[in-house]
Chain A
Amino acid sequence: ELKVEQNPLFLSMQEGKNYTIYCNYSTTSDRLYWYRQDPGKSLESLFVLLSNGAVKQEGRLMASLDTKARLSTLHITAAVHDLSATYFCAVYGGATNKLIFGTGTLLAVQP
């Protein structure tokens, strides 16, 4: 059974600082997604990573994938308050394209 774990669960950081969220998964998968969720809102797709060594960047966020280590990272550069949200990684879980979500990381960027 595919399991997905994220850490940390909660991250409080100051504006301007850098930090990384980690996503580990238990079995082989050929794609991984990062989603953002604002409080009470839906899930917004940020990145899809399709192959080993894939790196995607959008603004202050950069995601990478190491399929051999079964690890993805979401790196935040020079955080700003607008990045405050919960970030989920989700791993493609089989032939029907179901997504198995991680536990989520609640990011709070303090001024």
Chain B
Amino acid sequence: EPEVTQTPSHQVTQMGQEVILRCVPISNHLYFYWYRQILGQKVEFLVSFYNNEISEKSEIFDDQFSVERPDGSNFTLKIRSTKLEDSAMYFCASSGDLSDTQYFGPGTRLTVL
């Protein structure tokens, strides 16, 4: 069964460093999303992406965040200068159509020291 994959599963970084979180959405999906979940809290929307551009972004998604689909399969989230409060689980999701169920990847746990 097709699934969303994410790498790495766990990333530890120093405050101020740049990180890139990678996702491979389900192959025939067209809509891509990033969410994050701070430990013990609810899942929060970050950004949605379609047709090689951002469709919508939340207040969390400030100038230090960016997304890219560098090739036909990968979808990346870059955090330019990490802060302690960026520590969270980051989930990638994809859907085939705008109204379809979103399928989530296993997540990347980001720890900023």
Judge whether A101 and B42 touch: CB under 8 Å: yes
Decide yes or no: A42 and B56 within 8 Å by CB, A31-B99, A101-B42, A103-B42 being known contacts.
Answer: no
B31 at the interface (CB under 8 A from A): yes
Judge whether B106 and A98 touch: CB under 8 Å: no
A68 at the interface (CB under 8 A from B): no
Q: Which residues of A in the span 26-64 have a Cβ within 8 Å of any Cβ on B?
A: 31, 33, 35, 41-45, 48
Cβ of A100: which chain B residues have Cβ within 8 Å of it?
Answer: 45
CB distance from A56 to the nearest CB of B (A): 12
Checking B55, B99, B102, B105 against A99 with a beta-carbon cut-off of 8 angstroms, the contacting residue is B102
Judge whether B44 and A101 touch: CB under 8 Å: yes
Judge whether B42 and A102 touch: CB under 8 Å: yes
* Chain B positions 22 through 35: 1 when the CB is less than 8 Å from some CB of chain A, otherwise 0: 00000000010101
Please give the number of chain B residues whose Cβ is less than 8 angstroms from any Cβ of chain A in the complex.
23
B75 at the interface (CB under 8 A from A): no
CB distance from A9 to the nearest CB of B (A): 10
Checking B33, B42, B101 against A98 with a beta-carbon cut-off of 8 angstroms, the contacting residue is B33
Q: Which residue of B lies closest to A41 (CB)?
A: B106
Cβ of B33: which chain A residues have Cβ within 8 Å of it?
Answer: 97-99
CA distance A35 to B104 in the complex (A): 10
Cβ of A93: which chain B residues have Cβ within 8 Å of it?
Answer: 45
Checking B58, B95, B103 against A97 with a beta-carbon cut-off of 8 angstroms, the contacting residue is B95
Judge whether B104 and A42 touch: CB under 8 Å: yes
B43 at the interface (CB under 8 A from A): yes
List A residues at the B interface (Cβ < 8 Å). 31, 33, 35, 41-45, 48, 88, 90, 93-104
Q: Using A45-B101, A96-B50, A96-B56 as known contacts, list a sample of 7 further A-B pairs with CB atoms less than 8 Å apart, ordered by residue number in A.
A: A43-B91, A45-B103, A45-B104, A48-B101, A93-B45, A98-B56, A101-B35
